C-alpha cells in the first residue's frame, strides 16, 4: 500500500529542483530544473502527433537508448515546435549548457518546452537563465513548488504530489509535477509530466509501468480534442531507496505501478479540472462492454464530443447527445440494451433504462448538473469490460482564452 505525503518533485532521496522567472514570459516563472545526485534511469511516453517539438525527438532517443540521466531543463512560454533545424540545435544547446553547469554529458540531460508554437527560442535569455537558476537547486519544499510553477502556461494552479510505499522493508518515495490546461486530447493528452522516484527497478519495468499508467490516465482525458506537439511523461529513478532491484512483474512491481497510476490519475483529473475555461469535470464510466477497446472508445467518444460538452456547460440533461456520441465512436454496443444515468453530490437521475427513455424530473436533473463534478454512468450488457474517461464542459471562456493566447503569454 502507498500513502500520500506532503511534497513534490524533490520528495524522493537524491533529487533537487527549482524554478524561476528568466524573461521568456512577461511575469510568471518560465524555467524549471530537476537534478538527481546520482546517475538515474529514465522512461518516457510521448505525443503521437506526427508534428513533434524538438525536445520530444531529443528525449525519445535518450530514453530509448537506455543511457543514464542526471537532470531535466524545462522552459515555458515557447514550445520550440515547428522551428526546423534551428529549433533542434537550440534544444541541444539548452541541454549542453545545463550539462556543463552540472559537469555531465549533454546526453544525460532531458529537455522540455511548452508554450507558443513556431517561435524561435530566445537562446540568450535561456542560457543566461540556466546560469542564474541552477545555483538555487535544492531539495527544499519551496523549490519543489517553484519547479512546478515554472512549467505552467494557461494553468490556473500548480499540479504536484508525493507518495511513499514500502518495498522489501525499504521506504520508496515518488514525487511528481505536471502541467496542462488546453490542447488536451488522448494520445499522451497534452501535458508535461515529470516524476522522480528513488526506487531500484529495471529500465524495462520502469518503462512498462509508465506506459500502462499513461494508457489509463493521460490517454483517457480530453478538454478540447486538440493533440499537442509537445506532450510527454517522464519518470526518473535513481535507485537510492536501497530496495532489491525489481526485475520481475511481482507484487512489488504491482505496488509501484499502482502508486504511479494513482499519481498520474490525480494529475490527469487536475488537468481536466483546470481545462481552459472549464467549470465542470465529467467522469464517464462504461461497464459491460464487449471488449476493452470498445469500452475505451465509448468513454472517450463522450468526453470528446463538443455537443456533450456544451450541454454540460448549459446544465442540460440532453442524453440524446451522449447516445449520439457513442453511436459515432466506431465501437460496438447494443443501443436497445443499455442504461444511462447522471450522478453528483446533487443526487442521481436515470435517463435511459434497457434502451428506453426514462421520464425524469428536469429540476432534479438540474440539481445534479449544477455541481462541479458530474459522473456519467453507462451500463451495457454486451460483455465484461469497463473503462473510465475524464473531460470537462466547454463554454465562452475557452474561446476567450484561446482567442488571445499569443498576446497574453
Residue-averaged pLDDT of the chain: 92
338 has pLDDT over 90: yes
How many helices, marked H, and strands, marked E, lie in the chain? 12, 16
List the single range of 35-44, 91-100, 154-163, 257-266 with lowest mean pLDDT. 154-163
247 has pLDDT over 90: yes
Give the number of other Cβ atoms within 10 Å of residue 13's Cβ.
20
181 has pLDDT over 80: no
User: Residue 138: which pLDDT band, with cuts at 50, 70 and 90?
Assistant: very high
Q: Which residue has the cell 529500465?
A: 203
Q: Tens digits of per-residue pLDDT, 57-91? A: 999 999 998 889 999 999 999 999 999 999 999 99
- Best CA proximity match to 174, nearest among 255, 70, 230: 255
- At 125 the pLDDT is 98
Strand partners, 344: 347
182 has pLDDT over 90: no
Q: What is the C-alpha separation between 380 and 134, in angstroms, rounded?
A: 54
Q: Tens digits of per-residue pLDDT, 315-327? A: 999 999 999 999 9
| Bigger pLDDT: 186 vs 208 | 208
| Bigger pLDDT: 224 vs 19 | 19
What Cα–Cα distance (Å) separates residue 297 from each residue in 70, 183, 291, 319, 351? 38, 19, 10, 18, 21
- At 67 the pLDDT is 87
Please, what is the Cα angle at 202 between 199 and 208, to 5 degrees? 95
User: Residue 183: which pLDDT band, with cuts at 50, 70 and 90?
Assistant: very low
User: Residue 279: which pLDDT band, with cuts at 50, 70 and 90?
Assistant: confident
155 has pLDDT over 90: no
Q: What is the C-alpha separation between 343 and 385, in angstroms, rounded?
A: 21
- At 180 the pLDDT is 79
C-alpha cell at 319: 442524453
Phi-psi region of 354 (alpha: psi -120 to 50; beta: other; left: phi over 0): left
Phi and psi (nearest 5°) for 110?
Answer: -90, 155
Q: Which residue has the cell 428506453?
A: 356
Domains of the chain, with CATH numbers? 2-270 (3.60.70.12), 281-393 (3.10.20.340)
Q: Tens digits of per-residue pLDDT, 91-119? A: 999 999 999 999 999 999 999 999 889 99
33 has pLDDT over 70: yes
Give the number of other Cβ atoms within 10 Å of residue 212's Cβ.
14
- At 231 the pLDDT is 86
Three-state DSSP class for 175? strand
8 Å CB contact between 287 and 389? no
- At 277 the pLDDT is 58
Q: Which residue has the cell 464487449?
A: 290
8 Å CB contact between 351 and 317? yes
Q: Tens digits of per-residue pLDDT, 188-231? A: 545 799 999 999 999 999 999 999 999 999 888 876 555 678 88
Q: What is the C-alpha separation between 81 and 203, in angstroms, rounded?
A: 28
Give the number of other Cβ atoms within 10 Å of residue 354's Cβ.
11
8 Å CB contact between 192 and 235? no
Active site residues: 190
Q: What is the C-alpha separation between 309 and 317, in angstroms, rounded?
A: 11
- At 404 the pLDDT is 62
Q: What is the C-alpha separation between 15 and 365, in angstroms, rounded?
A: 49
Amino acid at each position: 500500500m502507498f500513502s500520500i505525503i506532503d511534497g513534490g518533485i524533490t520528495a524522493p532521496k537524491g533529487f533537487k529542483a527549482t524554478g524561476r522567472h528568466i524573461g521568456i514570459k512577461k511575469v510568471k516563472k518560465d524555467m524549471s530544473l530537476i537534478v538527481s545526485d546520482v546517475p538515474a534511469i529514465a522512461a518516457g511516453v510521448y505525443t503521437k502527433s506526427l508534428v513533434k517539438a524538438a525536445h520530444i525527438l531529443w528525449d525519445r532517443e535518450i530514453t530509448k537508448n537506455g543511457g543514464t540521466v542526471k537532470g531535466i531543463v524545462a522552459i515555458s512560454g515557447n514550445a520550440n515546435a515547428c522551428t526546423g533545424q534551428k529549433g533542434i540545435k537550440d534544444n541541444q544547446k539548452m541541454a549542453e549548457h545545463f550539462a556543463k553547469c552540472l559537469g555531465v554529458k549533454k546526453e544525460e540531460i532531458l529537455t522540455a518546452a511548452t508554450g507558443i508554437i513556431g517561435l524561435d527560442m530566445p537562446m540568450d535569455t535561456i542560457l543566461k537563465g540556466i546560469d542564474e537558476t541552477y545555483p538555487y537547486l535544492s531539495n527544499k519544499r519551496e523549490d519543489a513548488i517553484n519547479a512546478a510553477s515554472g512549467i505552467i502556461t494557461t494553468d490556473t494552479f500548480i499540479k504536484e504530489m508525493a507518495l511513499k510505499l514500502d518495498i522489501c522493508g525499504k521506504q520508496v518515495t515518488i514525487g511528481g509535477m505536471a502541467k496542462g490546461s488546453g490542447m488536451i486530447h488522448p494520445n499522451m493528452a497534452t501535458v508535461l509530466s515529470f516524476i522522480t522516484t528513488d526506487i531500484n527497478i529495471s529500465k524495462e519495468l520502469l518503462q512498462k509501468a509508465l506506459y500502462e499508467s499513461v494508457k489509463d490516465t493521460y490517454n483517457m482525458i480530453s478538454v478540447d480534442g486538440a493533440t499537442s506537439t509537445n506532450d510527454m511523461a517522464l519518470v526518473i529513478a535513481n535507485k537510492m531507496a536501497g530496495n532489491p532491484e525489481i526485475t520481475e512483474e511481482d507484487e512489488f512491481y504491482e505496488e509501484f505501478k499502482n502508486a504511479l497510476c494513482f499519481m498520474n490519475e490525480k494529475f490527469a483529473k487536475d488537468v481536466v479540472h483546470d481545462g481552459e475555461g472549464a467549470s465542470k469535470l465529467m467522469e464517464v464510466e462504461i461497464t459491460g462492454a464487449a471488449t476493452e477497446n470498445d469500452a475505451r472508445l465509448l468513454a472517450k467518444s463522450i468526453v470528446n464530443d463538443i455537443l456533450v460538452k456544451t450541454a454540460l456547460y448549459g446544465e442540460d440533461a440532453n442524453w440524446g447527445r451522449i447516445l449520439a456520441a457513442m453511436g459515432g465512436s466506431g465501437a460496438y454496443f447494443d443501443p436497445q440494451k443499455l442504461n444511462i444515468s447522471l450522478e453528483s453530490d446533487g443526487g442521481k437521475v436515470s435517463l435511459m433504462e434497457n434502451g428506453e427513455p426514462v421520464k425524469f424530473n428536469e429540476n432534479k436533473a438540474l440539481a445534479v448538473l449544477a455541481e462541479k463534478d458530474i459522473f456519467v454512468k453507462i451500463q451495457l450488457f454486451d460483455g465484461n469490460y469497463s473503462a473510465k474517461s475524464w473531460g470537462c464542459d466547454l463554454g465562452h471562456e475557452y474561446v476567450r482564452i484561446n482567442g488571445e493566447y499569443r498576446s497574453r503569454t
